[in-house]
């Protein structure tokens, strides 16, 4: 009986391990540099990674509490679902950089662009299927990076979709600024009772992206993830009624988030765009 009991416990442990999938420590430790500064990041490759096959890339931006240089804190908490799901359920290359203490996303010490460039050079990335998500400070960073278009960063890159959680962006009524954001599909998510980052940040950002006035009320016209959701074009905003700051665990652990995200890709350039690019290149060469 004692042997059988041990056997059953052993089987239960093996099953539990398979349910939770890979852990945060399975990520490859990397360092990005611009030739002067350095920044750590982790890379998680999908199960059975095949360099002959192109994979989507998911960029995760951590919150303020995970800043540092240990290359651990940004992945130890909050994103076990993201690490697990991109292994086999939704195979993708997951990249998780870590900005140093006192810094922030898109600041001078943020070398995310260089980390992305490194990963594209080392692994087989589908550049038309690159996605960004982040929480809290990383939610603000996701908005910032989703406005990036070719030529605005060095090296350049673009995202096919953005999912900022518990973040927001500075309100802007400038149509030219809004245009930088809403060419990228966004799924904005925030808890209505968030006492860390006020929900108004996500509400106002949604209104700005869809062309509403700052004083307008949001109409929640459907439900997603079990919560009221407002949709307009390729922008959606889900408000987690009664929830606080930490809303990411069920989002990253479920399927709805990934099905939405991976359904998007940057369309191939049209013939007209390719011809324009060729003309610009020719002019530059002659000048």
Is residue 164 predicted with pLDDT exceeding 80? yes
Specify whether the backbone of 48 is left (phi greater than 0), alpha (psi in -120 to 50) or beta: left
The angle subtended at Cα 117 by Cα 115 and Cα 120, nearest 5°, is 110
Q: Residue 4's pLDDT is what?
A: 36
Tokens matching residue 131: 């996605």
**What tens digit of pLDDT does each residue of 80-113 get?**
999 999 999 999 999 999 999 999 999 989 999 9
Residue corresponding to tokens 């990228």: 184
> Mean pLDDT over all residues of the chain?
84
| Residue 155: per-residue pLDDT | 54
Domains, the chain, in order of start with CATH, read 25-286 (3.40.50.1820)
Q: What's the CA gap between 185 and 280, in Å, rounded? A: 28
Residue, of 149 and 3, whose pLDDT is higher: 149
Instruction: Decide if 155 contacts 84 (C-beta within 8 A).
Output: no
122: tokens are: 């080392």
Cα dihedral 158, 162, 166, 171 in deg (nearest 10): 70
Residue 152: is its pLDDT beyond 90? Answer: no
Residue with tokens 């904005």: 188
Q: What share of the chain is helix, strand, coil (3-state, %, to 5)?
A: 35, 20, 45
Q: Is 137 exposed, middle or buried (0-12, 13-18, 19+ CB in 10 A)?
A: buried
For the segment 15-22, the average pLDDT, to the nearest whole number, is: 49
pTM recorded for the entire structure:
0.84
Q: Per-residue pLDDT averaged across 215-239, rounded? A: 96
Residue 7: phi, psi to the nearest 5?
Answer: -60, -45
Place 144 in a pLDDT band, splitting at 50, 70 and 90. confident
- Residues 213-242 have a mean pLDDT of 95
Provide the token pair at 186. 């966004």
Residue 287 pLDDT class (50, 70, 90 cuts): very low
| pLDDT at residue number 22 | 81
């Amino acid at each position: 009986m004692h042997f059988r009991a041990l056997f059953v416990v052993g089987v239960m442990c093996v099953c539990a391990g398979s349910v939770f999938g890979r852990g945060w420590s399975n990520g490859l430790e990397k360092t990005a540099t611009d030739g002067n500064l350095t920044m750590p990041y982790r890379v998680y490759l999908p199960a059975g990674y095949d360099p002959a096959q192109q994979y989507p890339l998911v960029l995760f931006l951590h919150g303020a509490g995970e800043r540092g240089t240990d290359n651990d804190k940004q992945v130890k908490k909050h994103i076990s679902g993201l690490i697990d799901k991109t292994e086999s359920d939704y195979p993708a290359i997951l990249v998780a950089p870590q900005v140093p203490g006192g810094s922030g996303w898109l600041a001078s010490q943020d070398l995310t662009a260089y980390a992305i460039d490194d990963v594209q050079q080392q692994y087989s990335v589908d550049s038309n299927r690159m996605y960004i998500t982040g929480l809290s400070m990383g939610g603000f960073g996701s908005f910032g990076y989703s406005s990036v278009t070719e030529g605005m960063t060095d090296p350049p890159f673009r995202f096919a979709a953005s999912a900022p959680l518990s973040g927001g962006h500075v309100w802007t009524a400038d149509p030219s600024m809004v245009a930088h954001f809403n060419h990228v599909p966004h799924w904005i998510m925030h808890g209505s009772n968030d006492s860390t980052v006020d929900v108004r940040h996500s509400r106002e950002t949604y209104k700005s992206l869809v062309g509403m006035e700052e004083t307008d009320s949001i109409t929640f016209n459907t439900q997603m993830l079990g919560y009221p959701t407002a949709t307009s074009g390729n922008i959606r905003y889900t408000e987690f009624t009664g929830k606080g700051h930490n809303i990411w665990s069920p989002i990253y652990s479920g399927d709805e988030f990934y099905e939405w995200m991976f359904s998007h890709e940057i369309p191939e350039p049209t013939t007209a765009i390719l011809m324009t690019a060729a003309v610009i290149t020719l002019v530059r060469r002659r000048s």
